[in-house]
Structure 1
Amino acid sequence: MDSSPTALFDSYEADFKQIIHSIRGKLDGDAKDVQGEQRKAALRRVEMELDEADEMVSQMEIEIQGIPQSLRPSYQARIKASKADLTRYKKLSKDVHAQLSRAELLARPGAGGDATSDEPYGASDRTRLLAGTALLEDGSRRLLESQRIALETEEQGADILRSLRGQREQIQNARDTLQRADTSIDRASGTLKKMIRRMYQQRIVTGAIIAVLILLILVILYFKLVR
């Protein structure tokens, strides 16, 4: 198993490209060539794959935090390109949905039944068409708002990950500092012990010298006073 820091990123990117390829095939093929329920089913599959692709981009943004700084710029550019592809296919999917909704509105029974020579649609058909358009616009606004919230959430998650990584580095630095301090304390303790031993040795030597001097003085006094 590849344990390089970019392995997971490359894996998610490969999955993303595979999903985008599948989405492209459906939007260029089934979503245009077929009609009715088959077209709706193809668009539903496209929506699910777009969600999967969005998840792959989120995982790529998480994994890039563990990539070394020297390699990160090129991977950030790859994420930007992936986001651009995802946005483009989301817009294309929305356009196909809008076309399908308009086609269903126009295909309803009675469409054009009340039309006059001055209006291409009857009043009831035009009302339904306007209502459907308003519904699509409202759905588009909600989708854009959801995307905005999702992006903000992703950015907050990335900020949290960066903060946690910084705190981990600070903890590791503090641990290394404590280990160095502990080593220095051990060395200082050993030095103090050596100094204490030398001090005691010097005291013993000094005491021995004093004892010898006293003994010599006594011997000298003995010979002078007794003899």
Structure 2
Amino acid sequence: MDSSPTALFDSYEQDYKELVEGLRLKLDESAAESQDAEARKATLRRADLELDEADEMVSQMDIEIQGIPQSIRPQYQARLREAKSDLAKYKKLHKDANQSISRATLLSSSGGQAFSSDEPYGVSDRSRLLAGANVLEDGSRRLHESQRLALETEEQGSGILSNLRMQREQIEHSRETISRAGGSIDRATNTLKTMIRRAWQQKFVTAAIIAVLIILIIVILWEKLS
């Protein structure tokens, strides 16, 4: 398994590119011409799901870029900006395609019907227009919701990365503290050994002095007694 700091970014980017290629085929105008209204709606629904998935992948790429070394991060930031630009373009194409199919559905359903002289649209036509407007509004709402979820995910990911960095700094600080404590313990141990060695030397010197004094006392007593 590749453990390089860019491995996950590259993996998400590859999956994103595959998704975008599928979206390009689904949102292409030639594909719309070869499909009827219902098939086109199904294709756009699949494209909507893939857009959500692509949005999530871009968010993951944005998170992973925080862990890439500063020396090579600019080139990955440029790739991320390109991916975001492509995603925005396909979102716009998806929105335009939805609006186009909604207009086509409304026009086909209202064709051949007579309008009253008092109102430009009949009651049923107004209902269809309102229904189309509701569909467009729902699509916009889902798009905004997806963007909101992506932003929340990005913020959560950034928060997790910040916590991980703080924990790593704390661990490194603890290691440094333990290392300094170990050095202090070694110095204290050497100091104690030196003190013990000097104490034994002092004991030896004291014993030698006492022995010499005893010998002198014995010699003096011997001379006096003799």
What is the TM-score with the length of structure 1 in the denominator?
0.84
- Pair 32,50 (structure 1): closer, same or farther in 2 beyond 3 Å: farther
* Alignment map for 1:56-75 (pairs within 5 Å): 56-75=57-76
Identity across matched positions, percent: 64
Does the 8 Å contact 1:50/1:90 carry over to 2?
Answer: yes
Q: Is the 8 A contact 1:61 1:158 kept in 2?
A: no
Partner Cα distance (2:182, 2:58) in 1: 45
TM-score (norm 2): 0.85
Q: Any residues of structure 2 matched to 1:1-227 within 5 Å, and which?
A: 1-28=1-28, 29-108=30-109, 110-115=110-115, 121-122=121-122, 124-223=124-223, 225-227=224-226
- For 1:85-121, what per-residue CA distance to the aligned partner results, in whole angstroms no more than 9, with x for missing partners? 112211211110111112112211x535123689875
Show CA shifts across 1:47-82 (max 9, x none): 232122122212212322322233223322322221
Residue pair 1:65, 1:162 contacting (<8 A) in 2 also: no
Count of residue pairs the alignment pairs up: 225
The answer to whether the 8 Å contact 1:12/1:56 transfers is yes
* Alignment-mate amino acid for residue 90 of structure 1: K
Q: Counterpart of 1:107 in 2: which secondary structure?
A: helix
Alpha-carbon separation, structure 2, partners of 1:19 and 1:204: 87
Q: Deviations over 1:171-223 (max 9, x none)?
A: 23213321331242133123312321221222222221232133124313532
Aligned alpha-carbon RMSD (Å): 2.6
Distance 1:138 1:48 in 2: 15
CA contact (8 A) 2:55 2:150 kept: no
Distance 1:41 1:146 in 2: 19
| SS of residue matched to 1:64 | helix
Distance 1:159 1:73 in 2: 22
Q: Is the 8 A contact 2:59 2:154 kept in 1?
A: yes
1:142 is displaced (CA, Å) by: 4.2
Relative to structure 2, which stretch is displaced further, 12-21 or 33-42? 33-42
Deviation at 1:140, TM superposition (A): 0.8
**Unpaired runs of at least 5, structure 2:** none
Using the TM superposition, give the Cα deviation of residue 39 of structure 1 relative to its aligned residue in structure 2, in angstroms: 1.5
The C-alpha deviation readout for 1:95-152, integer Å capped at 9, x for no partner, is: 10111112112211x5351236898754532442144224412431342144124313
